[in-house]
Structure 1
Amino acid sequence: MKGKVAVMTEPEKMIFEEYDLPKAGQGSILVRVTRTNVCGSELHIWKGLHPTKKSGVMGHEMVGEIVELGEGVTTDFAGQPVQVGDRIAATYFLTCRKCKQCLQGYFNLCENAYEYWSKEAHEYPHFHGSFATHYYIHPDQYFYKVPGNIPDEVAAGANCAISQVYFGIEKSGLKYGDTIVIQGAGGLGLNATAIAKMFGAKVIVIDSLPNRLELAKRFGADETVSMDQYKTLEERVEKIMTLTNGIGADVVMELTGVPAAFAEGIHLIKSAGKYISIGNISPGKLTEFDPGLMTRKNISIMGLIRYEPWYLYKSLKFLSLNIDKFPFSEILACDYTLDDVSKALDASFNRGVTRASIGVEQIN
């Protein structure tokens, strides 16, 4: 049998290639992709802005059904039994537990994280990304069964957007009764809003698009701040101070990917507050910054890439418990097929959709 994979030959140029399906090796799994979503990092790759990946297989947010289990695979990484036909989600990176970073406890920084993701499609086992009919999961790639009440399109986002912000919120030390300002109401920001509400925080969301701000309220935002209404930094700072009794937020989380948002964030934080930056991932994109203000306010700034792999399990449990509480599916535009990958990427980049979701049909 053959499978199909989308390959970016250069920025903004996509072709499809077919390969024989690989056998699942020892400790590995072959999955049939049922749904894959477009993440913000895919847009950086698509536009040639990623620091290392300039071509190759794309896609990493996914959910799929097990086609073949390699020798020795009987359970997921939470110890739950698995069999052919089960739905699973996997981290999009490896965690080897042997490199210097892993041995020091920085599992999200594994030196071998992208060992296969960076390969070209012609290199076996070919199916290195999720913009494809199939996906190959390697031995050091954490995976978990998907609870039955989570729809495919929602489960597909668990292994990146939801796990990423869950990890960031816990790293921030956000507590019950704290105030968090979330910069950006895209897929990351909306999921962060729901998780922050689970922590018992007051949530303020900043964005420029009215439909995203309305959706943020449905995800639990206590307050929203429109950049169209509050056009300048000074106006937004004044608004945040009004909403926080003149103190500022305990935590600010940058999820926009816009360098200027990072510079703005420290103005919104209280003294001794924490700033978590996740959205800006492209080195070389600069912005003016006030280090003196950072120092005088004693602000802690943390940049986070990826997440500790067990956060995927925590995210799936969170989704299962809250699937009827928040409108997760409404973040997604689900009309795209695998042949529409380029359209889905362009629509996402132009902010025509909050998050594009691609249904994958199998080839005969």
Structure 2
Amino acid sequence: MCNVNEVNGKIAVMTEPLKLDYQEYTVPEPGPGAIIAKVSRTNVCGSELHIWRGQHPSLKRGVLGHEMIGQVHKLGEGVTTDSAGEPISIGDRIVATYFLICKKCPACQEGQFNLCENAYYFWTKQPEVEPHFHGTFGTHYYIHPEQYVYKVPDNVPDISAASANCALSQVYFGIDQASLSYGQTIVIQGAGGLGLNAAAVAKEKGATVIVVDALKSRLDQAKEFGADYVIDINDYQTVEQRSKIIQELTNGRGADIGLEVAGVPAAFAEGIHHIRPGGKYITIGNISPGRMVEFDPGLLTRKSIQIIPVIRYNPWYLRKSLEFLSKNIDKYPFDTLLDAEFTLEEVEDALEKSANREITRASIVVNS
């Protein structure tokens, strides 16, 4: 006999790279400490594009999506507050880390929560495995007890909060790892969602911000997010030309800090040319192993540049990101970061247009 309280949900499943299907499952009851969210918006992040193209080292099929905002649909036993101790109830707008923190693996025991060895324990499971709703490209999303979840401030709209649990939190964490301080200069390679969020964070820390990209529309947008200078790769077509202009903009020193969020191996090799001796270089965008590039280790050594690779973030940075949005919501046009909207049935179109760089960042509106 059918349970009248049962609700069916839908998820977008990559059956193999570049092939998508939809599957329906009964929305499960949340276990103790868990939450079921109704997805409001979910975005196409660069990670999805790597998976979609078959560039992920192991994930070749499964539920897609991890960057989202939703509403509490069901609360598991014992859940009365979010991870900051704020009361939580059905209907509240929430965001959650897209990864787990097990607190038991060697990385967690060293306090390196962003490197938890079990971070993707559920995210990599196939849809037929309960609780089915492992990714956010769907009507519902299962949030496990080991995920951090936070209520969204009232003054932050869905369209702005939707990027908090990945793009904003990741660059915020990376910039803090490099200890960017007032009066320093940062050069950001890439003006997509990550780069634009990074520009705003860096600007609020009192840094001079230089952004490099090949799309004029993105560079124009970077100025609205705090960039003091933008460099169009079409105008400065070689590494030497770009390095020279950066030298000129930094009184011949080079940037104190570099941030690679372009996702292009050549950008990583180029970055050390733009950084001063003793500077730091954060790399976030290149996440696909096996994509090689020529690199000058001698230049790295002679300049004594510190390389800071960043994957994920410490989970409390999601709360810091929401607070950053709330404080600066009227200062930067966060609502423009998502420049194209799609329905859940148009996920494949959203992925393709994102991969072809026809749009800056796609948002899939599910339950509005």
Counterparts in 2 of 1:156-235, with a 5 A limit? 156-235=162-241
Q: Cα offset for 1:334? A: 3.8
Distance 1:45 1:99 in 2: 25
Is residue 161 of structure 2 the alignment partner of residue 152 of structure 1? no
Distance 1:116 1:47 in 2: 21
Contact 1:153 1:334 in 2 (8 A): no
Counterpart of 2:331 in structure 1 is 325
Q: Cα offset for 1:200? A: 0.4
Other structure's SS at 1:332 match: coil
Other structure's SS at 2:276 match: strand
Give the length in aligned residue pairs.
362
Counterparts in 2 of 1:311-350, with a 5 A limit? 311-350=317-356
Which of the numbers 287, 291, 314 marks the counterpart of 1:281? 287
CA RMSD of aligned residues (A): 0.8
Could you give the per-residue CA deviations for residues 192-241 of structure 1, whole angstroms, max 9, x where no partner exists?
00000011000000001000000000001000001000011110010000
Is residue 53 of structure 2 the alignment partner of residue 47 of structure 1? yes
Contact 1:74 1:81 in 2 (8 A): yes
Distance 1:52 1:171 in 2: 28
Counterparts in 2 of 1:107-126, with a 5 A limit? 107-126=113-132
Contact 1:36 1:153 in 2 (8 A): no
Counterpart of 2:143 in structure 1 is 137
Counterpart of 2:67 in structure 1 is 61
Percentage identity across aligned positions?
62
Counterpart of 1:354 in structure 2 is 360
Which of the numbers 266, 285, 301 marks the counterpart of 2:307? 301
Distance 2:341 2:45 in 1: 16
Distance 2:284 2:161 in 1: 21
Opposite residue 269 of structure 1, the aligned amino acid is I
Is residue 245 of structure 2 the alignment partner of residue 260 of structure 1? no
Q: TM-score, normalised by structure 2?
A: 0.97
Counterpart of 1:98 in structure 2 is 104
Deviation beyond 6 Å, 4+ runs, structure 1? none
Counterparts in 2 of 1:7-46, with a 5 A limit? 7-46=13-52
Q: Cα offset for 1:68? A: 0.7
Could you give the per-residue CA deviations for residues 110-147 of structure 1, whole angstroms, max 9, x where no partner exists?
11100100000010000000000000000100000001
Opposite residue 211 of structure 1, the aligned amino acid is S
Deviates more, 1:96-105 or 1:196-205: 96-105
Other structure's SS at 2:352 match: helix
Opposite residue 275 of structure 1, the aligned amino acid is Y
Q: Cα offset for 1:335? A: 2.4
Q: TM-score, normalised by structure 1?
A: 0.99
Contact 2:38 2:367 in 1 (8 A): no
Contact 1:338 1:361 in 2 (8 A): no
Contact 1:208 1:226 in 2 (8 A): yes
Contact 1:334 1:359 in 2 (8 A): no
Opposite residue 276 of structure 2, the aligned amino acid is K
Distance 2:142 2:58 in 1: 22
Is residue 257 of structure 2 the alignment partner of residue 251 of structure 1? yes
Counterpart of 1:88 in structure 2 is 94
Distance 1:25 1:153 in 2: 29
Contact 2:188 2:195 in 1 (8 A): yes
Q: Cα offset for 1:333? A: 2.4
Is residue 226 of structure 2 the alignment partner of residue 236 of structure 1? no
Q: Cα offset for 1:361? A: 4.0
Opposite residue 183 of structure 2, the aligned amino acid is G
Distance 1:196 1:267 in 2: 20
Which of the numbers 296, 300, 319 marks the counterpart of 1:290? 296
Other structure's SS at 1:119 match: coil
Other structure's SS at 1:7 match: strand
Could you give the per-residue CA deviations for residues 261-292 of structure 1, whole angstroms, max 9, x where no partner exists?
00000000000000000000000001110000
Q: Cα offset for 1:71? A: 0.5
Counterpart of 2:275 in structure 1 is 269
